[in-house]
Amino acid sequence: MSETLEKKFGFTINPSRLIDYDTSDRKVREYVTLKEPSFKLCFACGGCTATCTAGQHISFNLRRMNNLIRRGEIAPLREEVTRCMLCGKCLLVCPRGVNTRNVVAVAAEAIRKLERNEL
Amino acid sequence: MNSEHFVFPFNLGLYFILIYSVVRSTIWFRNLSRSDKLRLQRGFFGLPFMQSIREIFMESLLHRRIFKRNPVLGYMHMSLAFGWFLLIVFGTIEADFFSARHLNPPSHSIFFRWYNPEHGASGFPAVFSFWMDLLLAFILSGLLLAMVKRFIPGMMGMKKTTKHTWTDRITLLSLWLIFPSRLMAESFTCGAHGSGSFLTGSLGATLASVLPAADIAPYFWWLYSLALGTFFILLPVSRYFHIPVELFLIFMRNSGIRTGDKSSSYTEVQTNACSSCGICISTCQMSYAAGINDIQSAYFVKGLRNERDIAAITANCLMCGRCEEVCPVGIELGPMRLIERRQDRKNFEPLTFPEGYALTRKRGFMERPTTQSYNYLVNDNPVVQADVLFFAGCMTHLTPSIIVAMKKIMNSAGVRYHFMDEEGGVCCGRPLMLAGRDKEARELINHNSDLIWKSGAKILVTSCPICYKVFNESYYLETRVMHHSEFINLLIEEGSLRLGYLHRKVVYHDPCELGRGSGIYEEPRAVINYVADLQKSQHEKNMALCCGGSLGNLTLASGKRSMIAADAARSLTASSPDELITACPLCKKTLGQATETKVTDIAELVAAALPTTPAKAKARIKKVLAKTENNG
């Protein structure tokens, strides 16, 4: 879609800011906010990402994951949630008291439910 | 009305429950694994059988564990259990002794007074009647306490009582009716015939003086029989099923059967052996510190038994293990919760009332599909050989002061060590296990095991109790795993660590995973005693409090965690110590935010007691000399 936009108007939209309503799926976000309300408290400071154990090995990024959930980008999210080790470091550094471990667990559950058509 | 017919409800109930218990136990036995069956068979002909008899007497009848907790609560349980037991035993003896025939049916001894209304007027039978009245009074006193407890739980050291289902309530009512109706039935019969001892005799005489006792008596005998019959018939679908099941459980446990990591008929026996006494509820910090009153073990087990959707209850637990320590039945609540966390199920159909009698349960073991995958982990770092490996763990990386202290201590003792995860390691796998993801944890365990095996280390030191527990229990290593408190204790005992004495009053907080989880209580205390003045706190060793930060709970909100932490910190600092010592980076972090008192890790305390190096001491002396010269 972004390619056609470029051709038509001759300017670019930063791809990371693009929300494609055709592929966006809000069900996961709704499920996560319902099961772990503290998810709404996140102000994307990135403390969790800085301390992440998995993030020292690969480019796993909890902050990006939060964005993916919010934007309903399920395809990349499916890959992202499998990488967390649930070690809980992010929980301790979070200044907003977001239950980050559970956000990952609930997101994984939501994706599983989505695949089973239960959401 | 043919009053003799009143024995029918009692007989029906009694034979039903006897047959049902035997059939159910046989099915449980048949579903045991082969090795557990062998254990049970061997136990039957050996020492475990005698131990079980002793335990049944001490716990199921006398309720010693509850006595230790609170004497009034213990008396209440003992009077009902032991009193009823004695009433049955002596009732049978009485009926056998004073009847024309021997080997009477059970109903004959239960309704003995009805069949022998003139019995016990004088001589030895009178003594026996007195004894039976005494037993009845003993039970009634316990019953009175039980009724009071329902309304004022605080009187018996209980902060809360369990909320019951409606079948439990009806069964409770029938249980409560049994003994008063017996009292009334016997009194009326005795009153009509001028017999009976101090209780039934005097009450009977009083009643007979104003009422037609002989006509009223059969109604109460009917009530007595109906109460007994209802109680027996509802037994399998109520919490009172624990009475027969607990006997089986005690025997199984003494034969060496343990919960393990899969649901089996042993977990089912444990589920049914729970009496919902609620002692776990009043011990739970989530209850009294954070006001969460619906997730405790009693409710977890009850949900399991009635096949309710208990996913939320299962996840919402700190896994601190305090309830397991106080459980009078000795149910392995922690492992049972972990088993449930590993399962993944949908479409719950709660058990309806008649389904509770089903001999087998629908609830099967359904494994959760793997959600995590760590195929991105590669071991490409050069292998470092070392005698001692130091694994800080994720949490210790958040408290760098512990790492600095450990380095200082090991350097001072001349330990040649390799810091395994200095550049960032991999999680030990315990948090995943606590979240019920054992398969995924195995991937991390394999990764770490590889590193440890290749290093050829003899000792693996970790400063995190969470890692310590999983290294000890779930890793296959030839390396000796030591928590840093154990290791420091070893260094002190060896004499390779020279330490000064700090004149500080300190209190030690047992981390859950190290204390109850791994049974390490003495080593940290020995170390602290060596360098500082260790004082006692309210909750020590196996009853130590949880700091509230536990990774065992996936869903607890941070506000509730702070409430638990604040409560624990308040209790620990009650004697206003100079410092609060813990041996876990997570406890240090959580408690540190909850109290004004300085929270120190045991390694930091020991590092502070190390003698200052000569170079530093020289520099300080120079400074002081310069100062005095300037002043002079």
**Shortest Cα distance, chain A CAs vs residue B554, angstroms:** 6
**Domain limits for position A66:** 23-115
Distance in angstroms (rounded) separating the CA atoms of residues B487 and B523: 9
To the nearest whole Å, the CA of B371 is away from the closest chain A CA by: 6
As a whole number, mean pLDDT of residues B81-94 equals 91
Query: Is pLDDT at B278 greater than 50 in this prediction?
Result: yes
Least confident of A73-82, B101-110, B423-432, B491-500: B101-110
What CATH number does residue A81 fall under?
1.10.1060.10
Q: What is the DSSP letter of B388?
A: E
A41 touches chain B (CB under 8 A): no
Query: In this predicted model, what pLDDT tens digit does every residue of B186-203 receive, in sequence order?
Result: 999 988 888 888 888 889
Q: What pLDDT does residue B222 have?
A: 92
Contact A105 B398 (CB under 8 A): no
Question: Quick one: closest CA in B to A38, which residue?
Answer: B557
Domain for residue A32, yes or no? Answer: yes
Task: Look at residue A9 and tell me if it is in a domain.
Answer: no
Give the residue on A whose Cα is nearest the Cα of B372. A82
How much is the average pLDDT of B318-326? 93
> A39 pLDDT exceeds 90?
yes
What's the whole-model pTM score? 0.88
Mean pLDDT of B431-459: 91
CA-nearest residue of chain A to B380? Answer: A57
Residues of A in contact with B372 (CB under 8 A): 81-86, 108
Is residue A5 included in any domain, yes or no?
no
Q: How far is A22 from chain B (nearest CA, A)?
A: 26
For A85, which of B432, B555, B559 is closest by C-beta distance? B432
pLDDT score at A38:
93
- Predicted local confidence at residue B569, as pLDDT: 94
- pLDDT average, residue stretch B281-304: 92
Pairing of strands B417-419, B459-462: unpaired
Residue A103's pLDDT band (boundaries 50, 70, 90)? very high
Q: Whole-angstrom Cα distance, residue A115 to residue A93?
A: 32
Average pLDDT on A22-51 reads: 90
- Residue B61 neighbours by CB under 8 Å, 6+ apart: B78, B81, B82, B85
Residue A34: both structure tokens together? 């319902």
> How confident is the model at residue B176, as a pLDDT?
92
The 3 state secondary structure assigned to B399-415 is: CHHHHHHHHHHHHHCCC
The minimum CA-CA distance between A18 and chain B, rounded to whole Å, is 28
CA distance to B45, B415, B457, B493, B569, per residue, from B489 (Å): 44, 14, 19, 6, 26
Q: Measure A9 CA to nearest chain B CA, in Å.
A: 41
Report the range of poorest mean pLDDT among B80-94, B171-185, B261-275, B375-389.
Answer: B375-389
Angle between the N-to-C axes of helices B213-234 and B200-210, in degrees from 0 to 180, rounded to the nearest 10: 130
What's the burial of B623, exposed, middle or buried (CB within 10 Å: 0-12/13-18/19+)? exposed
Q: What is the mean pLDDT of residues B93-121?
A: 82
Query: DSSP E strands: which ranges in A47-109?
Result: none
Q: How large a percentage of chain B has pLDDT more than 90?
A: 57
Tell me: the pLDDT tens digits for B453-486? Answer: 988 899 999 999 999 999 999 999 999 999 999 9
Q: Does A79 touch chain B (CB under 8 A)?
A: no
Chain B neighbors of A56, CB-CB under 8 A: 423-424
Provide the pLDDT for residue A1. 45
Dump pLDDT digits (tens) for B525-560: 999 999 999 999 989 889 999 999 999 998 999 999
**pLDDT at residue A12, as a whole number:** 59
Position B277 scores a pLDDT of 85
Cβ within 8 Å, pair A88-B551: yes
Cα separation, A103 vs A33, whole angstroms: 9
Which residues numbered 440-469 in B keep a CB inside 8 Å of some CB on A? 444
B366 vs A: CB within 8 A: no
Q: For chain A, what is the domain count?
A: 1
* B379 interfaces chain A, CB cutoff of 8 Å: no
Residue of A nearest to B423 (CA): A56
Which pLDDT belongs to residue B1? 41
A78 is a domain residue: yes
With an 8 Å Cβ cutoff, is A64 touching chain B? no
Average pLDDT over residues B302-330: 90
Does some domain include residue A12?
A: no
Neighbours of A85 (CB within 10 A): 29
What's the average model confidence in pLDDT over A33-56? 91
Residue A3 domain-assigned? Answer: no
Sheet holding B505-509, edge to edge: B533-535, B505-509, B579-582, B598-601
Which tens digit of pLDDT belongs to each residue from B228-249?
999 999 999 888 999 999 999 9
Asked if residue A14 belongs to a domain, the reply is no
Band (pLDDT 50/70/90 cuts) for residue B572 is: very high
Short-list B334, B20, B380, B326, CA closest to B158 = B326
Which two tokens mark A57? 């090995």
The structure tokens listed for B209 are 């003086």
What is the chain A residue with the closest CA to B370? A82
Chain B stretch 325-364, residues whose beta carbon is closer than 8 A to a beta carbon of chain A: 346
A16 within domain boundaries: no
CB contact under 8 A, A53 and B435: no
pLDDT at B364 > cutoff 60:
no
B26-37 core/surface letters (b: 16 or more CB in 10 A; e: else): eebbeebeeebe
| Averaged pLDDT for residues B84-93 | 91
| Contact call for A82 and B371, based on CB within 8 A | yes
Residue in chain A closest to B558 (alpha carbons) equals A97
| ipTM, two decimals | 0.85
Return the closest-CA partner of residue B468 out of B435, B436, B512: B512
Compute the average pLDDT of residues B510-530: 94
pLDDT above 50 (res A19): yes
Q: Which residue of B has its CA nearest to A50?
A: B398
Over residues B40-53, mean pLDDT: 90
Closest Cα to residue B222, out of B189, B254, B250, B192? Answer: B189
